[in-house]
Structure 1
Amino acid sequence: MPGRTAARRSIALLASAALLGAGAGAAATSAPAPAPAPDTSRRAVTDTVVAISIDALNPKALTKLGRAGTPHLHALLDQGASTLNARTEHELTLTLPNHTGMVTGRRIQATTGGHGVTWNDDRRRPGTVQAAAGESVESVFTVVDDADLSAGFFASKTKFSLWDRSWPLATDAQTIIENNQKLVRAFKRDLGGATRAFRLLHLSEPDVVGHAKGFMGQAYLRAVRRADRRVGSVIDVLRTDPRYAGHTTVILTADHGGRGKGHYDATSIHDYRVPFVVWGSGVDPGTDLYDLNPDYADPGRDRVSYDGVQPVRNGMVANLALDLLGLPAVPGSEHDADQDLGVSAD
């Protein structure tokens, strides 16, 4: 239905332009270029992508808890393509900036082409990602929408309402429930009742408990175990429902790690090191993402800038998901913009 999509995109761009004027003051912005038509020649390897972000999942929690403590996450590691040594955005190890990077494929700093979301709260000024960046910013949601497919997000922090304000006509589902158990129930109901190409599920409890009780402490580790069970309940649906079994790919990562009292030090490996796991359709099981991708480099313990050979980053979620769906990269994106992050040897 190209006519419907074109009309929706025109309305969305007008709305974004109005918000830009309100949020960016006197800063001048050029008219956004029309979104490119979907490249229908690309080959899809999956029908739907489920992205799962476990807020503040320090990879060391997985090694400390082991298979007995996190059986479902370890099953994804065993059966997927993964690394426990991916990186956050370079500038900040905070929730909203990194999650916005996940869905836009952009770095954070607006002056160098980033999305501009440097805050981590519910503020309404700037009111949109576009206002923060000072220009039109597309996302995984808008690319999916341009292909006349459906996308949505399910988050457990109210600050994610920024996304619905930024891409109001492309987020067909926008569910925010702070209780993680209730959120997962809503997510599974949506799996049962709607056909979507892309969904993002955000689980906040490890971060919430980490701030209250200390990251990598016993209370935090118990929260990670609960997150593991919730992920497992979602995977059970994807494995057993014939609408998803064999037709779904999961991308699991985190916005940041954490140790002790917080995760605010973007120069600390405990904060900038995150997992990145891909499981399901189109994925070679039991493989290492760095072994599959010689154009990317395992960073060891280093904090790597955006110059030179890149590590796997959490900001690659958007373009990897679109690649798996046979759709083009997010316009203006940087992370995996060539869609060359492989999850199989083919």
Structure 2
Amino acid sequence: MITFFVIGLTVHVVFFISIFDIYFTSPLVHGMTPHSTPLEPPASRLVLVVADGLRADSLFTLLPNGSSRTPYLRSIIEDKGTWGVSHTRVPTESRPGHVALIAGFYEDVSAVAKGWKENPVEFDSVFNESRHTWCWGSPDILPMFAKGASGDHVYTHTYPAVEEDFASTDASKLDSWVFTQVKSFFKSAQSNSTLKASLWEDKNVFFLHLLGIDTNGHAHRPMSQEYLDNIGLVDAGVAEVVSIIEDFFDNDGRTAYVFTSDHGMTNWGSHGAGHPSETLTPLVAWGAGIQKAKGVTEPQPYNDGFLQDWKLEHLRRVDVSQGVLPLLYLNNSERFKAESMYTNAIQVLEQFKMKMMQKKETTLSFLFTPYQYVQ
């Protein structure tokens, strides 16, 4: 009996430890040689707008009278940009969602031990690779990217944490704050020669994090008037900001815009799991280097019924997920697309080389057998 107990305990301990070895080990690889596409990019700057907690159906579904609660973004879909559904994954929380959007990977679950608010490991991001990044929004989201950035080129502007009140009557004020700050920022740049010169440089990113929709969804649920009205407010705010940015840069046609969300929300106002209402988020892109809306000439590869529900079956839908270069969003030469695919492949190869070297260093030599390619 004692032997049986010891064996059983040992097996359970091994299984318990294996969970942490498998799931609480960072997936990140450090030390690779970075690669970039050698060709001139079509855009000088990126404006990234993330409407936290926005469901895909809440944006794309028309009102009973056939109009849209987001007339500006709907016009972009119809006339100027490419649209689709971005597929997030569990855990559908703001921290891992933004890491996936901005850094390009799904964060390991060990970040939950820090409440999804601190970096369990350092990682690279689009912001870190930019010349300058200006951010406006939540104090829970923005600082984590500034903290991980090398140098001093990621500037964050946040409202006080006390403003994030889930019992608030209407949290859309959080998004109004962001839009007001962005407008003031570009207005002040008109009379600040140093700032203006920085803004006109290439490789700049402007990030607007909009938490109002998520907060209203938690407080009032996604079918509430507060949640739906907040979506309309965001649409109007995006339209105004785009106009201001285009005017500031003299309509030079060098600005790319991406509007999306980090996760959705269930009908009862929660998120974190894998229900489609939580994992399906909207994606609308337009501007420099982005393909314009294209009519459909053949059946679209989607049978989920959304195209008909959203009255968008006449426009090509392009969904995105992690690890796949979204070529259908790009409006550029075939050479540029080929170079982008090649660079992406080389970067993946660099990760493989680094992982293989790490594995070799931590494995007994007689147990390490490299993969042999056989024709």
* TM-score, reference length from structure 2: 0.61
Decide which of 121, 142, 152 is 1:160's aligned counterpart.
142
Unaligned runs of 5+ in 1: 1-26, 111-115, 131-135, 303-309, 335-346
> Which string of whole-angstrom CA distances, capped at 9 and with x for unpartnered residues, describes residues 97-131 of structure 1?
10111111012336xxxxx64478475xxx4252x
* C-alpha distance in 1 between matches for 2:324 and 2:207: 13
| Counterpart check, 1:138 vs 2:124 | yes
> Which string of whole-angstrom CA distances, capped at 9 and with x for unpartnered residues, describes residues 207-259 of structure 1?
11110001122221011111111111111113333345411110111011123
| Residue equivalent to 2:359 | none
| Counterpart check, 1:51 vs 2:48 | yes
| Counterpart check, 1:252 vs 2:248 | no
Q: Which amino acid aligns with 2:291?
A: D
| Residue equivalent to 2:72 | 72
Identity across the alignment (%): 18
* C-alpha distance in 2 between matches for 1:291 and 1:330: 31
Q: Indicate the SS of the match to 1:284.
A: coil
- Equivalent residue pairs, number: 276
| Counterpart check, 1:183 vs 2:191 | no
| Residue equivalent to 1:33 | 31
* C-alpha distance in 2 between matches for 1:158 and 1:316: 28
Q: 1:251 to 1:30 in 2, by over 3 A?
A: closer
* C-alpha distance in 2 between matches for 1:77 and 1:262: 27
| Residue equivalent to 1:207 | 214
CA contact (8 A) 1:210 1:262 kept: yes
Q: Which amino acid aligns with 2:146?
A: D
Q: Indicate the SS of the match to 2:145.
A: helix
Q: Which moved more, 1:155-164 or 1:27-36?
A: 27-36
Q: Indicate the SS of the match to 2:269.
A: coil
Q: 1:82 to 1:211 in 2, by over 3 A?
A: same
* C-alpha distance in 1 between matches for 2:28 and 2:274: 35
Cα displacement (A) at 1:267: 2.4
Cα displacement (A) at 1:33: 1.7
Q: Which amino acid aligns with 2:76?
A: L
| Counterpart check, 1:269 vs 2:276 | yes
* C-alpha distance in 2 between matches for 1:153 and 1:48: 14
CA contact (8 A) 1:81 1:277 kept: yes
> Which string of whole-angstrom CA distances, capped at 9 and with x for unpartnered residues, describes residues 252-288 of structure 1?
1101112322342532111111111111122232238
| Residue equivalent to 1:93 | 92
CA contact (8 A) 2:82 2:291 kept: no
> Which string of whole-angstrom CA distances, capped at 9 and with x for unpartnered residues, describes residues 1-39 of structure 1?
xxxxxxxxxxxxxxxxxxxxxxxxxx9999942653655
Determine which structure has more spread, i.e. the larger CA radius of gyration.
2
Cα displacement (A) at 1:44: 0.7
* C-alpha distance in 1 between matches for 2:303 and 2:111: 25
Q: 1:274 to 1:168 in 2, by over 3 A?
A: same
Q: How do 1:1-346 and structure 2 match up within 5 A?
A: 32-33=30-31, 36=34, 38-39=36-37, 41-62=38-59, 63-65=61-63, 67-88=67-88, 90-109=89-108, 117-118=111-112, 121=115, 123=117, 127-130=118-121, 136-144=122-130, 149-167=131-149, 169=151, 171-177=153-159, 179-192=174-187, 193=189, 194=195, 195=199, 197-264=204-271, 266-287=273-294, 298=302, 300=304, 311-313=319-321
| Residue equivalent to 2:11 | none
Q: Which moved more, 1:193-202 or 1:170-179?
A: 170-179
* C-alpha distance in 2 between matches for 1:95 and 1:279: 24
Cα displacement (A) at 1:72: 1.4
Q: 1:205 to 1:47 in 2, by over 3 A?
A: same
Cα displacement (A) at 1:86: 2.3
* C-alpha distance in 2 between matches for 1:291 and 1:81: 17
Q: 1:301 to 1:215 in 2, by over 3 A?
A: same
| Residue equivalent to 1:10 | none
Unaligned runs of 5+ in 2: 1-24, 164-173, 190-194, 307-317, 350-375
Q: 1:209 to 1:238 in 2, by over 3 A?
A: same
Q: Which amino acid aligns with 2:179?
A: V
* C-alpha distance in 2 between matches for 1:99 and 1:279: 20
Q: Indicate the SS of the match to 2:48.
A: strand
CA contact (8 A) 1:81 1:284 kept: yes
Q: Indicate the SS of the match to 1:210.
A: helix
* C-alpha distance in 1 between matches for 2:325 and 2:135: 13
CA contact (8 A) 1:138 1:332 kept: no
Q: Indicate the SS of the match to 1:233.
A: helix
